[in-house]
Structure formats: structure tokens, C-alpha cells
Chain A
């Protein structure tokens, strides 16, 4: 049976470990959007989930050749295009 069709808009929080994606746009509180954008989550930039913390949250993400940790609630503000593995 075929895989379930991926919804068009997914967020960084939906990616699995080692999956990559490209940032489409940001959503959520302006302060959070701004901080995310400043840290390099701008449209088109490639992101990769490196790993999850032992309790599943926060997530370690690679973006713009460096790594940072963000909480799932913030990862949900980063909408991404269809992921490529």
C-alpha cells in the first residue's frame, strides 16, 4: 500500500531525525518569528534534525552550518516544504 500523502505544509517539528527540509515561511508570535529568522531560519534555507533530547524535546537542528536547540513549540513555527531524506 502507498504511503499516506504528505500534507503540503509541514513544520520542522514533524521531521524525523536525520530528515532534511527547506524553510518555507515562519508563523507564530512575532517575537519568536523574528528570533528564528535572525538565527538563520529564512525562506529556502536547509534544515536538518540532528537528534532529540532524551525526553523527546527540545530538538537539535542543523541550519546554516551550525547547530542549535529549539523547543518543539518553536519548531512548529518553522513551516517547511516537502522534506527530502
Chain B
């Protein structure tokens, strides 16, 4: 007999092996989607071996149902059937770390009291036993009134028993339980519920569980969500009820935890036995080395250096290979399709666009794999512990270190790795400033301009001036990022501030399966969602550069060159390409914005090249190559382009590129966000267009202002 479909949620503290339990129950097969309006991913799969079709939803790891941000609220919303488009859940599995059972039971008992039939999966029983913790599982189940199953998810042990327990609570839901709340709290809660139902239509009134959270969580998300519907009377009543509870001598912020831990303590006393209490665990001995003041700091530098080198250097040959392969493919298609619009669209639009997506994959794969390993074994939390003090100076926390470090190689994997930051505000601010780190795509621009315009002399006898300019561009980006972080920290997600409590989980060996699944998911997500946006933007920019393509342009160039006696076909083609670009919509736009870029010391050619580099900064070099009739095949080492830039003139005969102009361009590209892939990946990671638009807007404004100041100062004040 086919039974009705069941939806089961998976909940647990971070670092409990929740993902391993999910993989064990579903055989790693899962779908990834987004919840509307928040940055959390929705991961679902089907439970294998259940007697009815059972869908499993993996909810984000959390320590408590008391939510401070919309991202944290998703756990309670899914459990209570308050999430749009999500079928109500019929049961919930709480994954608890057996080696850390006290604190894990806090969330477990909270979840049980939502009224959803609950099963507790005690994971990592082996580690608990190794630490001398013996848990009487049957007794615990009897005392809690819900099934408790000991599992070792990585080995797949306890799978069958866990599935049976889920089926059991689906068939016969356990009786709901509750801790004994003080009478005064229940009185005030009942009165508060009457106020709310009196002021809100039935469909807007929160369920009883959420009203309790409103009362308990001072400044929490439930309170803010309620006041959005019912500001005046409900908020006033809430303050009244709270002050009466406090007047009775109860402290609201710690009330729930005090009661809950008291109950947990009696359970622990009955059901858990410690051999050799107080024995120093292996994990603590490892920590003596890894977070040691001197030794730990040295190891940290080595580990982070290795990560940076791997993203910066190891990925480079793979990226060159992807780049080269797509370059060859585009060239071959050009020849095969015989020129013309179709050939250009396929080769320069589509193939170049797909190549522009896939070129990031090596970095993403390597960085996500390394970070997942570090996170899974517990080191990432230690890295945050070591770096926290430094990052607090700009309002962030230690967990921002890895994303920002990676961004010096490329902001794409950097932004993607910001997911390890739990605080929504810190995560968004980190994502917003990550593109200010000078990534490897800036190097060609800095290189060619520094080589062309900065004299190769020494400062103070031993410091090369060229190197100094190069380094100061990097520091300029870092300092700007620190300042911007301080500003955004004040403006974004206000009211979600909470404590920076970072669990330092026991060290364990990373799981190959977890790493493989994560890397595959992230790469797939990048290609499918960010990739689509990148491809679409590539095609739009291609069209702006290609059209209107009037044949008159080519005829004019050819007849002019013929009069001058030029017969070399290569020169003619490059000149035609330059003429087409100047006549294209993008070229027209470049001319139109010339008044805006003039104060930066730029002419319309530089303006056009800057516009054309929206897909990626480094494109500015090949675009300048085309504009100066040198062909697109220019790179940072191109002597001919360097010479051309040095000697290029305005129509009036004055030099187009002077030192102030070069400085202005470098500063602009240090700060601007001419990188569609970064914007696409920010859209994907934040699940909103608001943040990529803000990133592009603030960075462009900043770049413009800084370039303006640098040019005006160096051209007029310093008289360079």
C-alpha cells in the first residue's frame, strides 16, 4: 500500500555531523534551491529505505530557535509550517553530538516543544565513548518521551534504526512535552496572546509558539516581525508584559536557558556516566599546539599561505588551459563559420561567455575543497579565533579572514567562501568589500601602466619606485576596504547584532564524502546560476561592441588606407576593427560619456575601453589594443601597446597618456567593480539583486572619486 508523502526536517547544532546524517539517510542525492528573501540554501533529498515516500529537508545548523535574523528564523518557520511554498513538516530529526550532549539537548528540547514529532539522532557515539562518556540511550529516550537513536553517520551505522524511529513517530506521534514555565510567564503570555488576536486578523496572528518567542527574545526576530504588522498596541503590550515578568524577579534573557539547562542536568545525571571526569581530551592537546601563541601563529601563517598559493598559483595552469582551449575554439569557429555576424556571435559572444564562466572553476574547486577540509576538521574556527582581534578593528570578525585573503587571487571564490561566516551582517559586509582586494585580474593593468609611465628609478637608494607604486595600489585597496567595512557595518542589517560566540569543536578527520559533495554543489551552483548571468551579460556586451556594424565604416577605412598606399592585409584588418569599435554602440556611448571622464584626465578612447571592460577588468588592455589599431591580441607584456600608449596623442597634439592619467586609470581599476562574474556570484550568494547593485554602485562611485582626486592633484597641484 502506497502511503502519503511525509516531509521530515533535519535540525542540529553546527559541528554535529548533520550533513553526514543527511548523506547517510539520502545516499547523498539531493536538490538545492533557495528560500525566498534570505541567503540560506534549501537542501532536500529523499530518505532511502522508508516505507513511504519521505522528503528530508536539511535546515541550517543552529544553537537555538531564538532567531535574531531572517536567516536564523528559517528553522522555526519550516518547523511551524510558516514558510511560504513549503509543505508543513510531519516529523523532525534532531542531530545531537553525543560527545557534547548537554548543550545539544538545549536545541533538542526546544524543538520537541514546537509540537512536531521528534526523533533524536545521537551522532559521534564513538568519540563520546573515546572521551569516556557513556550514555544510556534507552533511558534517555524514556525520560525525554521521544525515540533516541545512537548513530555513527560517517560509517553509516544506525541508519536502519533511525529510519524505523522516523516511521514510528510518523505513525504514532509522541505526546508533546514542555518544561515547567513559571506561572507569571504563562499568565503574561496568555494576556499578550489576547492583545495580539484582538489587533490582528486571524491569518496574520503568529502561532502560540512564536508569541512565546516574542516575549522571551528581547529585540529578537519574532518581535520585529510582529511589530511590522502591529506596531503600536502590540509593542506597547509586549513591553508591559515583559516589565511585569522582570518585576517578579525573573531575568528574561536567561530565563529559558536557566530552566532548560536545569531540566537537562537532571536528565544527564540519570542517563550519562563519565569515566575519569576532567581528563584532558586529545582535542585539547592538539589545541595546545595549534592555538599556541607562537607556534600556532606560525602554523596559521603556513596554512593560510598554502591556501593563497594554491588559489593563486596552482589554479593558474588550469585556468590558462581553459582560457587557451576556449580561445582556440573561438578561433576555429570563426574560421569555420566564415566571419560575419553569426561567427562573431558564436565565437566572441557565446563561446567567450562560456569560457568566461568555466575559467573560474579551477580556483573555485580548489578553494572550496581546502576550506571544507579545514572547516570539517575544526581548524577554521581556530583560524577565526587567532585573527578575530585584528578584524574587529574594522568591525568584522575572524571568519572574514579566509574570504578576504582568497579575494587577492580572485573575488569569485572569495565571495563564495564567505558562507562560512554565521553572522548575516558580517557575511554581507565581507562580500561587499571582498572585490576591493586587488585580484590577479588587476595585475596586467597595473603592470602595463607602471612599466609605461613610472620611471624605473630607486627611491631612497634601494626601493624601486615601480614596485612601490605597485604595492601601494594593493594597500590602497585594503585601507579603503577597512574604511568601507566600518561604514557598512553601521548601515546594514541593523538590530541583528548578537554575541560573537564561536564554538571550538573537537578536532576530527575530515570526511571525503562531505568534501566531495560540498565541492560538487558549489561548483554546480556557480555554473548554473552565476554562469547564466555571466553568459547573458557577455552576449549583451558583445552586441554593444558589434553593432551597428555599418559596412560603410569598412569601405571608408579601406579606401583611405588604399590612398595612403597601405596594402598589408593585417594592418588593414586591425584598422578596420578599430574603426568598427569606435563606431559601435559602445564606442558611441564612450564618446557620449567623455564629458564625465574628462575630469579624470581620460579621453573617450579610455572611457570606451573602461566601459568595454565591464565583463572583466583585464579586457581593458585588449580593448585599448583594438582602439589603437593594434588588434585585440595584447597583454601586459606587450611592448608595442606600451609604446603606443606612451606616444598616443589627443587631436590637438598633446599627449593622451601622461603620468597623472596613468595614475588615474590605475586607481580607478584598483577600486572599480568591472567584473561581471563577481556581481553574478554576489547575486547568487546573497539571493538578491540589491547587494550586487550596491557593490557596483559604491565601487564605481569610489573609483571615480579617487581617480578624480588623484588626477586633479597630480596634474595641477603637484604639477607632474
Contacts and interface: CB of A to CB of B under 8 A. Distances in A.
B219 interface: yes
A33 B220 CA distance: 12
A71 B86 CA distance: 38
A31 interface: yes
Interface of A: 25-26, 29-40, 42-43, 45, 50-58, 60, 64-71, 74
Interface string B384-404: 111011101000000000000
B293 A70 contact: no
Contacts of A50: 284, 287
Nearest to B97: A66
Contacts of B499: 31-32, 35-36, 70-71, 74
A30 B253 contact: yes
Contact of A65 (B100, B293, B502): B100
B665 to A, nearest CB: 39
Contact of A40 (B68, B102, B386): B102
Most buried by B among A34, A39, A68, A69: A34
Given A33-B253, A54-B386, A58-B385, A39 B100 contact: no
A58 B257 contact: no
A43 B296 CA distance: 33
- The majority secondary structure among interface residues of chain A is mixed
Given A26-B254, A30-B253, A64 B103 contact: yes
A30 B7 CA distance: 35
Contacts of A56: 389
Contacts, number: 131
Given A31-B219, A38-B106, A60-B291, A68 B66 contact: no
14 contacts: A26-B251, A30-B218, A30-B252, A36-B499, A40-B261, A52-B293, A53-B389, A54-B294, A58-B389, A60-B291, A64-B103, A66-B505, A70-B502, A71-B500
A42 B182 CA distance: 17
A31 B494 CA distance: 13
Interface string B293-325: 110110000000000000000000000000000
Interface of B: 63-64, 66, 68, 100, 102-103, 106, 217-220, 251-254, 256-258, 261-262, 284, 287, 291, 293-294, 296-297, 381, 384-386, 388-390, 392, 497-506
B254 A70 contact: no
Contact of B254 (A29, A34, A64, A66): A34
A42 B257 contact: yes
Given A42-B261, A70-B500, A37 B253 contact: yes
A57 B253 contact: no
B501 A37 contact: no
Contacts of B287: 50-51, 60, 67
A64 B384 CA distance: 22
Contacts of B392: 71
Report the 7 A-B pairs with minimum CB-CB distance, sorted nearest first. A37-B257, A33-B253, A30-B218, A37-B254, A55-B389, A34-B253, A35-B499
Given A54-B296, A57-B388, A39 B102 contact: no
A74 B270 CA distance: 33
Contacts of B284: 50, 67
Contact of A39 (B63, B389, B390, B505): B63
